[in-house]
Structure 1
Amino acid sequence: MVSAYVVEVYEYLRELELTTMPEVDYMANQNEVTWKMRGILVDWLIEIHTKFRLLPETIFLATNIIDRFLSTRVVSLVKFQLVGVTALFIAAKYEEVVCPSVSNFLYMTDGGYGDDEILKAERYVLSMIDFNLSYPNPINFLRRISKADGYDIQSRTMAKYLMEISIVDHKFMGTPPSLIAAAGNWLARRVLDKGEWDANLVHYSGYSEEELKPTAQLMLDYVVRSSPILSADAAKANQSGMNPLQTSPISHEVEHPNFIKKYAAKKFFKASTSIRKWAEEEFAPVQRYNSSTRKMEYVAVAPIL
């Protein structure tokens, strides 16, 4: 990116991100698809994305395409996987230097669709989003923020994991990519004890610490909910004398194994496991009233940042 125009470019990206946002509550118009199903679909796409060794921009764009398409069309459950694989195919053609072929994507669906179905779906999906693929994903903004901390590889890698939470968890649906990138970097720096969010970071991110905390809180909430140890501790508390009402143990709330496994790898500095370990050392289950069961239960809850 030409340095002489970098400020203008990022100002343009901040304007552009608002025009490529999906409808926050689009799932209310879907008859067969749910938020949980969406999370499972994205997790499956992350598995394909990892196996094909695609760029991080590709999975962010693919998810954006899915959400924008579902904001305009009602999709049946039998076609839901087709929408997902087609979105990843479109994103790969847009972002990658060498894109996997249609046959590669067909193989990943176990022969559930034909190549003609994917190509037909490609044209239809593109028409529904007005052929607009100019989505400024969080990676674009992370590059600029990283300049403020000397491109520290550890905080940058953990930030990528935290940013990617935003595509598996629908709670981030209305959050701009620039805010996701800044919040991910802020929380990563806090976990790794990399120092305060100084004026330089505010300048390059465009966000103050207070503006970042609500989004970072959502990320931390996901980390805590994904922790089997915190869930197990809560379960033990429910089964022990700590809980006089002897309620049933809580369930493991997060079901995105491919996403967690991806960032548990060495190449990502085991970001998903290291931040969960940090959370497990910092936090303990607390007792909450479950209105559906009318019982007190121990649950894993992230603290207010």
Structure 2
Amino acid sequence: MGNDENCVPANGSSKKRAFASVNAVNSQMMSPKKRAVLSEVSVNTGNIDLGFDDFCTPEPIVKTVKKTVDKEDGELKKCGYSSLIYQYLHSLEVEEKRRPLSNYMEKVQKDITVGMREILVDWLVEVAEEYKLVSDTLYLTVSYIDRFLSTHVLSRNKLQLLGVSCMLIASKHEEIAPPHIEDFCYITDNTYGKEEVVEMEKEILKFLNFEVSNPTAKAFLRSFTRTAQENSTPSTLKFEFLACYLAELSLLDYGFLRFNPSMVAASAIFLSNFTLQPEKHPWSSALQLYSGYKASELKYCVLALHDLQLCKKGNSSIAVREKYMQHKFKYVAKLNVPSAIPQSYF
């Protein structure tokens, strides 16, 4: 599903909001201008002879290739490669250098608040939508921000600069055609110059020791989704979008920093199953075996995520909700949500 994200057409009628300034002196909104950042690339083969009489692959060959791929995919699953990859990612996510402090706002920051972080991330969701970035870029961006703020004291007037610089780095890592530095300056209404963004980028990369890859909830979500769908979840696409919606909601909530990304992803799968089939137990033995999490271990993360889904916490995750109210995401943000999860499910 991540491969299709750059191909989704932008919704021209969607209302774009700018990042709300966190400076107490200047509280005016800055309106990002709508623009086409990534130009279409046209490939002209001219009269080059590719050595084929017909570009269409004969049907028998297509069937043979598909059969071979399906067979190899089945063999990979039997060999447990998927499980080994998950175990490796899980071992990385618990490394201290890859995890932000769950209380850095209280311990490190003096001029930045939880609310300012929430406004920043919500705005970055809009920036990612505006430039048609894959969701992995957004998750990596937030990971960089939280890890940087866990060790560096930052003034509020540099918070947006940190956000766009982190997204620039994440874009270079994840995107085929990342936006340019000038694009990120422009989206901030030129509040910051190119030199400032470059300097902040250097500082972030030095802090990361140029290790820009990091396990995020999105990576775990892909693995858990495949496992969940082996039991033929009804409306597969809606299930996938709902799980992505719930995981993205968690990005805005500072309180979720206490949970590992794999636990957030597992909780999103749990809650998606419950939302679509509330009468059925949302956590199968296959999911427990693959993820290593019992339903009881997910309880607090699931309940916190459920509160976000019900808008009980009063956060300002407007961009995420509007994003998933669109037709292309099957309107999953508009789904009726059961008000309580039975204790027996834990």
Query: Normalising by structure 1, what TM-score?
Result: 0.79
Deviation, 1:163, is 0.7
Paired with 1:59 and 1:75, the residues of 2 have a C-alpha distance of 21
CA apart distance, 1:149: 2.9
Is residue 243–residue 272 contact of structure 2 (8 Å, CA) maintained in 1? yes
Tell me how far apart the structure 2 counterparts of residues 264 and 213 of structure 1 sit (CA, whole Å): 27
Compare 191-200 and 11-20 and name the one that shifted more.
191-200
2:187 aligned to 90, 100, 108, which one?
108
Residue 134 of structure 1 deviates from its aligned partner by 2.3
Q: Where do residues 135-174 of structure 1 align in structure 2 (5 Å cutoff)?
A: 135-150=214-229, 152-174=236-258
Residue 21 of structure 1 contacts residue 174 of structure 1 at CA under 8 Å; is this kept in 2?
no
| Residue 45 of structure 1: aligned partner | 124
| Corresponding residue number in structure 2 for 1:61 | 140
Deviation at 1:223, TM superposition (A): 2.2
Assess, with a 3 A threshold, how the Cα gap between structure 1 residues 303 and 7 changes in structure 2: closer, same or farther.
Answer: closer
After TM superposition, give the deviation of residue 69 of structure 1 in Å.
0.4
1:109, CA displacement in angstroms?
Answer: 0.3
Give deviations 1:44-101, integer Å, cap 9, x for gaps: 0000001111111111100000000001100001111100111111111111111111
Corresponding position of 1:27? 105
1:92 is the counterpart of 2:176: no
- Partners of 1:126 and 1:38 in 2: CA distance: 21
SS class of match (1:203): helix
Q: 1:265 to 1:15 in 2, by over 3 A?
A: same
Match of 2:211 among 132, 137, 141: 132
Whole-angstrom distance in 2 between the partners of 1:136 and 1:44: 23
Determine if contact 1:40/1:255 at 8 Å carries over to the other structure.
yes
User: Which position in structure 2 is the counterpart of 1:205?
Assistant: 291
CA contact (8 A) 1:186 1:216 kept: yes
Q: Return the offset for 1:220.
A: 1.0
1:13 partnered with 2:124: no
Give the conservation status (yes or no) of the 8 Å contact 1:141–1:205.
Answer: no
Give the counterpart letter for 1:158 in structure 2.
L
Deviation at 1:278, TM superposition (A): 2.1
Tell me by how many angstroms 1:262 deviates.
0.9
RMSD over aligned CA atoms reads 2.0
SS state of the match for residue 314, structure 2? Answer: coil
- Partner Cα distance (1:260, 1:36) in 2: 17
Query: Could you tell me which residue of structure 2 aligns to residue 216 of structure 1?
Result: 302
Is 1:256 aligned to residue 334 of structure 2? no
Quote the offset at 1:189 in angstroms.
0.4
- What amino acid sits opposite 1:225 in the alignment? C
Separation in 2, partners of 1:97, 1:78? 31
Report the CA distance between 1:219 and its aligned residue: 0.6
* Pair 1:122 & 2:201 matched: yes
2:333 matched residue in structure 1: 272
Q: Supply the AA of the counterpart residue of 1:70.
A: L
Alpha-carbon distance in 1 for matches of 2:152, 2:141: 16
The reply on whether 1:70 has 2:156 as its aligned counterpart is: no
Structure 1: distance between partners of 2:321 and 2:226? 27
Q: Does residue 82 in structure 1 map to residue 185 in structure 2?
A: no
Describe the SS at the equivalent of 1:149.
helix
Contact map agreement 1:144 1:204 (CA 8 A) in 2: no
Note the residue ranges of structure 1 that are not aligned, 5 or more in a row.
Answer: 227-251, 284-301
Q: Do 2:252 and 2:317's aligned partners in 1 also have CA atoms closer than 8 Å?
A: yes
CA shift for structure 1 position 303 = 8.5
- Between stretches 150-159 and 212-221, larger displacement belongs to 150-159
How many residues are paired up?
258
Gaps of 5+ in 2: 1-72, 231-235
TM-score w.r.t. the length of structure 2 is: 0.70
Distance (whole Å) between structure 1 residues aligned to residue 291 and residue 237 of structure 2 = 17
**Cα offset, 1:256, TM superposition:** 2.1
8 Å CA contact 1:179, 1:212 repeated in 2: yes
Question: How many percent of aligned residue pairs carry the same amino acid?
Answer: 33
* Structure whose CA Rg is larger: 2
Larger mean CA deviation between 1-10 and 94-103 belongs to: 1-10
Contact 1:138 1:180 in 2 (8 A): yes
Maintained 8 Å contact 2:310/2:337: no
Q: 1:179 aligns with which of 238, 249, 263?
A: 263
Report if the CA contact (8 A) 1:35-1:170 is conserved.
Answer: yes
